[in-house]
Structure 1
């Protein structure tokens, strides 16, 4: 049995990070569920969104598999209520890969 991964992160640290990630995932799902259709146009009006809003959309950008630098304008152009609902459904089925390397993040 291994005591750490190839990057030297202990299994207990990995488990701790995993537990923390699950807490944040649950909070993100709750936040997504609170978005109402009428609020989407308001989000699009931000030229420089509040930091917390920007961070949420950066996370969504990453979770969608986009590898290019985060761009607020592009993210807002793609934002629809259908996409929000799809993110909620996808996150319900989200399973973390046991081999995830938290050090990368």
Structure 2
């Protein structure tokens, strides 16, 4: 199991979780952040610092946002395990489901 980032992050990308993650496993896509399932150590440090409550333990993701569990994992197809988001920086893509979403109200 791992933590995942869901809909409230889309078009917000606060990045507080990036600073808090001790293993640098949260990567930045164009519209949201993604947790790498193979790099996450399930420490939970990211969850309480998220100002929009977008981060959930995989089994606790609210039902309407469960597709984000798959989206977080599939985002890394073709990227493998880069070994840390700090050295990778912005990844100029999003999961197709996220890319297809209408712009989210961030006010």
Q: So what's the TM-score if we normalise by structure 2?
A: 0.28
Q: Which has the higher strand share?
A: 2
Larger-gyration structure (1/2):
1
Normalization by structure 1: what TM-score?
0.28
Q: Which structure dedicates a bigger proportion of its chain to helix?
A: 1
